[in-house]
Amino acid sequence: MAEDDRANEPGFAGPGAEGATRCGFVALVGAPNAGKSTLLNSLVGAKVSIVSHKVQTTRALIRGLVIESGAQIVFVDTPGIFAPKRRLDRAMVTTAWGGAGDADVIALLLDVRKGLDDDNSAILARLADSGRRKILILNKIDLIRREALLALAQEAAARVSFDRVFMVSALKGDGVRDMVAYLADEMPAGPWLYPADDISDLPLRALAAEITREKLFHRLHDELPYASTVETEKWEQKTDGSVRVEQTIYVERESQKRIVIGKGGQTVKQISTEARKEISEIAETTVHLFLFVKVRENWGDDPERYREMGLEFPKS
């Protein structure tokens, strides 16, 4: 149904119609790499959460805002849930469940190729105890046969009583609109929490740091991306409308710094070129990006770094 048609439906209330708008929170939870960030970006129609084929790209709670049928849906992209080992891992998992606890609807995203493996089984077990409204989103249906998909849906539904099950391809957009229409109906009555034009509650400078971190993830291999973090130190509006952005990539060791910089500065230059293009898009202006690489030993044990990433610092 076209947006215009909806406006003629009884009960429709656009922004500002007091008492008739709806607004609520949907927490996207799931194992690492299930496709939460891909889904969120596709829903919002822009990049608010970073995507990579490596696991655990999303560290903090990132909100994406979608408006559908008079409802503002605040999607909360949580870090992937898995058995944590390091301190940073524990912080991410605690944050993820914290995000789910406050939501009107918990949406579990499951990579259909993984099926009910250990990570997904553990999440299902925990969700089964939650009294909240919950839906199951089977993602990456472009990669699996229909019979296997239906069998998986049945198996998951036998463990947790989901209010609804959706089958989608976040990458291709299949099935996504139906899911959003359902969620819009489920949102409680109330005023919108964010301006209609906003797509995320993350400030531009935080989004910009996330974009650079994504490029870092794409360019570098093994453990290095996990040992690095990016901070926007300066966001300076120039009189000609352009912005000067200074960011620092923090790594844990001198040897890692050399890798990030690359031969003759090649690697950091490529990261900078790719990041600048995307930051310009979200800032909707010309961006001059300056990247610095610094060693900050043991940042993984520094409470301040967790606060900057929007994570709680776990005591142990």
Site residues (CB under 6 A) for ligand GTP?
30, 32-38, 51-53, 55-58, 79-80, 139-140, 142-143, 169-171
Nearer to ligand GTP (CB atom), residue 38 or residue 200: 38
Tokens of 45: 């129609």
Q: What is the 3-state secondary structure (H, E, C) of 102-151?
A: CCCEEEEEEECCCCCCHHHHHHHHHHHCCCCEEEEEEECHHHCCHHHHHH
Distance CA 91, CA 265 (A): 33
194: left (phi over 0), alpha (psi -120 to 50) or beta: beta
DSSP-derived secondary structure for 16-66: T-TTT-EEEEEEEEESTTSSHHHHHHHHHTS-SS---SSS----S-EEEEE
Nearer to ligand GTP (CB atom), residue 22 or residue 140: 140
In the complex, minimum distance from the CB of residue 92 to ligand GTP, in angstroms, rounded to a whole number = 9
In the complex, minimum distance from the CB of residue 98 to ligand GTP, in angstroms, rounded to a whole number = 15
In the complex, minimum distance from the CB of residue 109 to ligand GTP, in angstroms, rounded to a whole number = 7
Nearer to ligand GTP (CB atom), residue 53 or residue 315: 53
| 34 belongs to an annotated ligand binding site | yes
Nearer to ligand GTP (CB atom), residue 56 or residue 270: 56
Nearer to ligand GTP (CB atom), residue 55 or residue 128: 55
| 31 belongs to an annotated ligand binding site | yes
Distance CA 201, CA 223 (A): 30
Q: Coil, helix or strand for 159?
A: helix
In the complex, minimum distance from the CB of residue 256 to ligand GTP, in angstroms, rounded to a whole number = 21
β-pair partners for 67: 72
Which has the closest alpha carbon to 192: 13, 9, 43, 11?
13
| 131 belongs to an annotated ligand binding site | no
Asked whether 273 and 266 are in contact (CB, 8 A), the reply is: no
| 91 belongs to an annotated ligand binding site | no
In the complex, minimum distance from the CB of residue 203 to ligand GTP, in angstroms, rounded to a whole number = 20
Is residue 17 exposed (0-12), middle (13-18) or buried (19+ Cβ within 10 Å)?
exposed
In the complex, minimum distance from the CB of residue 212 to ligand GTP, in angstroms, rounded to a whole number = 16
| 102 belongs to an annotated ligand binding site | no
Nearer to ligand GTP (CB atom), residue 32 or residue 314: 32
| 120 belongs to an annotated ligand binding site | no
| 14 belongs to an annotated ligand binding site | no
| 35 belongs to an annotated ligand binding site | yes
First-to-final CA distance of the chain = 52
Q: What does the DSSP 8-state code read for residue 67?
A: E
Annotated binding site for GTP: 30-37, 77-81, 139-142
